[in-house]
Chain A
Amino acid sequence: MTASTAPSPDTDVTRGEPLLRVTNLTKHFPIRRGLLQRTVGAVQAVDGLNFEVAKGETLSLVGESGCGKTTTGRMLTRLIEPTDGLLEFEGKDVTHSSMRALRPLRRDVQMIFQDPYGSLNPRHTVGTIVGAPFKLQNIKTEKGIKRSVQDLLELVGLSPEHYNRYPHEFSGGQRQRIGIARSLALRPKLIVADEPVSALDVSIQAQVINLLEDLQDEFDLTYVVIAHDLSVVRHMSDRVAVMYLGKLVEIADRDELYTRPMHPYTTALMSAVPVPDTNRRTKRERIRLTGDVPSPINPPPACRFNTRCWKAQEVCRTVEPPLVAMAPGHQVACHFPENPDGAPAEPALLDTPRTRADDAPATREDDPTA
Chain B
Amino acid sequence: MSQPSPSPSSPAGPPSGSSADGTPAENAPAEKRSRRRREAPPSTGLDGIGGLGAAAPDTFLSVRDLRVHFPTDDGVVKSVDGISFDLARGKTLGIVGESGSGKSVTSMSIMGLHKPGTVTMTGSIRLGSEELIGAGSETVRELRGKRMAMIFQDPLSAMHPFYTVGHQIVEAYKMHNDVSTSVAKKHAVEMLDRVGIPQASSRVDDYPHQFSGGMRQRAMIAMALSCDPDLLIADEPTTALDVTVQAQILDLIRDLQSEFNSAVIIITHDLGVVAELSDDIMVMYAGRAVEYATAADVFERPEHPYTWGLLSSMPRLDRARTDRLRPIPGSPPSLINVPSGCPFHPRCAYADRTGGLSQSQRPPLDEKAPGHYAACHLTPEQRTEIWENDIRPTL
Contact = CB atoms under 8 A, between A and B. Distances in A.
A274 B272 contact: yes
A351 interface: yes
Given A202-B310, A269-B244, A350-B320, A276 B272 contact: yes
Contact of A207 (B212, B244, B327, B332): B327
Contacts of A292: 212-215, 245
B299 A204 contact: no
A228 interface: yes
Contacts of A274: 246-247, 250, 270, 272-273, 275-276
B317 A202 contact: no
Nearest to A351: B318
A277 interface: yes
A276 B96 CA distance: 12
Interface string B244-275: 11111011000000000000000001111111
A165 B168 CA distance: 45
A279 B297 CA distance: 11
Nearest to B320: A350
B37 interface: no
B346 interface: no
Given A203-B327, A210-B325, A235-B325, A275 B275 contact: yes
Given A201-B332, A228-B243, A272-B243, A206 B272 contact: no
A254 B98 CA distance: 29
Contact of B317 (A65, A171, A258): A258
Nearest to A268: B244
A349 interface: yes
A275 B272 contact: yes
B130 to A, nearest CB: 32
Given A235-B321, A278-B1, A201 B269 contact: yes
A277 B319 CA distance: 11
B331 A174 contact: yes
B314 A231 contact: yes
- The secondary-structure label for the interface of chain A is helix
Given A64-B242, A272-B246, A171 B316 contact: no
A206 B314 contact: yes
A171 B245 CA distance: 30
Contacts of A286: 247, 251
A278 B296 contact: yes
A349 B270 contact: no
Contacts of A276: 271-272, 274-275, 299, 311, 314, 316
Interface string A286-303: 101111110000000000
A61 to B, nearest CB: 14
Contacts of A288: 247-248, 251
A173 B330 CA distance: 10
Contacts of B322: 235
B115 interface: no
A270 B187 CA distance: 36
A210 B243 contact: no
B317 A234 contact: yes
B119 interface: no
A230 interface: yes
Interface in A223-278: 228, 230-232, 234-235, 254-255, 258, 268-278
Interface residues of A, number: 51
B198 A370 contact: yes
Contact of B315 (A228, A231, A269, A349): A231
B309 interface: yes
B313 A280 contact: no
B331 A173 contact: yes
Contact of A210 (B246, B300, B314, B327): B327
A228 B244 CA distance: 11
Given A203-B327, A274-B250, A281 B276 contact: yes
Contacts of A205: 313-314, 327
A162 to B, nearest CB: 14
B324 interface: yes
Interface string B128-158: 0000000000000000000000000000000
Given A203-B327, A274-B276, A64 B244 contact: yes
Nearest to B215: A292
Given A64-B243, A278-B299, A202 B269 contact: yes
B243 A206 contact: no
Contacts of A273: 243, 272, 317
Given A275-B316, A278-B275, A209 B246 contact: no
Nearest to A208: B327
Nearest to B312: A206
Given A202-B271, A206-B327, A234-B321, A65 B316 contact: no
B188 interface: no
A270 B244 contact: no
Contacts of A269: 243-244
Contacts of B245: 64, 292
Contacts of A254: 321
A351 to B, nearest CB: 7
Contacts of B250: 274
A286 B270 CA distance: 18
Interface of B: 1, 98-99, 198, 212-215, 242-248, 250-251, 269-276, 295-296, 299-300, 309-311, 313-329, 331-332
28 contacts: A65-B213, A201-B269, A202-B98, A203-B313, A205-B313, A206-B326, A206-B327, A206-B328, A207-B327, A231-B314, A232-B315, A234-B317, A235-B322, A255-B321, A269-B243, A272-B243, A273-B243, A274-B270, A274-B275, A275-B316, A276-B274, A276-B314, A277-B275, A281-B275, A289-B248, A290-B248, A291-B198, A292-B213
Given A274-B246, A279-B296, A280-B275, 9 more contacts: A203-B313, A209-B325, A269-B244, A272-B243, A276-B272, A276-B274, A278-B299, A292-B214, A370-B198
User: 6 smallest A-B Cβ distances: which pairs?
Assistant: A274-B272, A206-B327, A206-B313, A235-B315, A64-B242, A203-B328
